[in-house]
Structure 1
Amino acid sequence: MYIPSHFAEHRPEELARIIREYPLGVLVTHRAEGLDANHLPFEFDPDAGAHGVLKAHVARANPVWQRGASGSPVMVVFRGAEGYVSPNGYPSKHEAHRQVPTWNYEVVHAHGLLTVCDDERFVRGVVARLTRRHEAGEARPWKMSDATPEFIDGMLRNIVGIEIAVTSLVGKRKLSQNKEERDIRGAGEALQAKGLHPIGAAMLAAAAAKRG
């Protein structure tokens, strides 16, 4: 991934935040037939191992767990807040007309080593934790115990767990940091006015940081 220095994000807490807030990752693997990508919700433990551990599950019918032998290098892409930025949001555009459109975004690439966990206890734990987390905001959170044990047992037999020991996290937050503070702020406010609040708020924070 190309990362100009002003867009690089090295802070572990920010990288973990993006993964936590945007947990649907793209698992990229390489096999004899070429590259493969699977979209999976992950849980991330930043305190496990040297750089954290990612856990997820895949359908047993998905060949990724059979073709990806334990120990295989993989990458998971987590895309955070993003949005199109019009030059009209930059105050300086209306003075010198020297701005062009761009797309701002946050992204984390997690590199690591894959382990296949075809184990009922592991899979049950992953499903339970993902369910508790993502059901927490519901008016009546669904629990695994809401279904019959026989039904849950059958569903768990149809999935396989995967674990990725993260070897490095590469982050990029493209928030117009290479522009004037007023332009970052103006474009951030314009994005928020369009309803793109996450990326707009991130740009406003970047403007405040530049102001000091």
Structure 2
Amino acid sequence: MYIPPHFAETRPEELLRIIRAHPLGMLVTHDSNGLDANHIPFEFDPDHGEHGLLTAHVARANDIWKRCPTGTPVMVVFRGADAYISPNWYPSKHEAHRQVPTWNYEVVHAHGTLTIRDDENFVRGMVGRLTRRHEANEPRPWKMGDSEREFIDGLLRSIVGIEIAVTSLVCKAKLSQNKDARDRDNAADMLESRGHQELARSMHTDK
């Protein structure tokens, strides 16, 4: 990924924020069949190992876990907030007419090594953690115990767990850092007025 220095984001708390806020990762693999991408919700433990651990599951019918055995190098892409930026949003454009359209965004690339976990206990625990996290804001959070055990057991047998020991995290945050503060802040205000609060918060110069 091409990252000009002014768009590089290295603060661990910002990388964690993006991954936690946008957990549907794109798992990119390469094998004898060529490139492939699977879109999977991940759980991220930043305290496991030097760079953290990603866990998820895939359908047993998805042969990725057979084509990419334990030890396979992979990449997971977490796309954060993004939006179009109009040059009309920059006050300087109306003075010098030297601004053009662009697209702002935040993205994290997690590189790591894949481990296949075809283990019902592992899958059950991982699904339980994912469920608790994503159901936390529901008035009556759903839990696996709400369904018959035989039904849940059957579903768990139809999925395979995966782990990715992260070896590096690379983040690009293209937030108009190459613009004057007034241009950047006004563009952020315009985004906020259009409902893009997350990206606007990241863009504001007083962040």
Q: What corresponds to 1:208 in structure 2?
A: 206
User: Using the alignment, how far apart are the partners of 1:138 and 1:96 within structure 2?
Assistant: 50
- TM-score, normalised to structure 1, is 0.96
**Post-superposition shift, 1:83?**
0.5
TM-score by length of 2: 0.99
The aligned amino acid for 1:93 is: K
1:110-148 deviation per Cα after TM superposition (whole angstroms, max 9, x unaligned): 000000000001100110000000001111110110001
Corresponding residue of 1:31: 31
Aligned to 2:178: 178
Any unmatched runs of 5+ in structure 2? Answer: none
- Deviation of the 1:15 alpha carbon: 0.7
* SS of equivalent residue, structure 1 residue 62: coil
Counterpart-to-counterpart distance in 1, 2:86 and 2:197: 15
- 1:10-159 equivalence runs, <5 A: 10-159=10-159
Q: What is the DSSP-based 3-state SS (H/G/I as helix, E as strand, rest coil) of the residue aligned with 1:20?
A: helix
Which whole-Å deviations, capped at 9, do the CAs of 1:31-58 have from their partners, x for residues lacking one? 1110000000000000001100000000
Give the distance between the partners of 1:122 and 1:175, measured in 2 at CA: 39
- Contiguous gaps of at least 5 residues in structure 1: none
Q: Distance in 2 between matches of 1:104 and 1:148?
A: 46
Q: For 1:184, what is the secondary structure of its paired residue?
A: helix
Matched position secondary structure for 1:40: strand
Task: Please give the alpha-carbon distance, in whole angstroms, between the structure 2 residues aligned to 1:54 and 1:68.
Answer: 16
Q: Output the CA distance in 2 between the equivalents of 1:119 and 1:35.
A: 27
Q: What CA distance in whole angstroms lies between the structure 1 residues aligned with 2:166 and 2:93? A: 42
Corresponding residue for 1:163?
163
- Root mean square deviation, CA, Å: 0.7
Shift of 1:154: 0.3
Amino acid at match of 1:28: V
Letter in 1 for 2:189: E
Query: 2:17 is matched by which residue type in structure 1?
Result: R
Using the TM superposition, give the Cα deviation of residue 71 of structure 1 relative to its aligned residue in structure 2, in angstroms.
Answer: 0.5
SS at match of 2:47: coil
CA distance in 1, matches of 2:12, 2:198: 19
Aligned to 2:192: 192
Offset of residue 195 of structure 1: 1.0
Q: Which amino acid aligns with 1:101?
A: P
Q: 2:206 is paired with a residue of what secondary structure? A: helix
Deviation at 1:166, TM superposition (A): 0.2
Q: What SS does the corresponding residue of 1:208 show, helix, strand or coil?
A: coil
| Distance in 1 (alpha carbons) for counterparts of 2:112 and 2:26 | 13
Count how many residue pairs are aligned between Structure 1 and Structure 2.
207
Q: Distance in 2 between matches of 1:4 and 1:46?
A: 26
1:6 CA displacement: 0.3
Measured after TM superposition, the shift of residue 88 of structure 1 is: 1.0
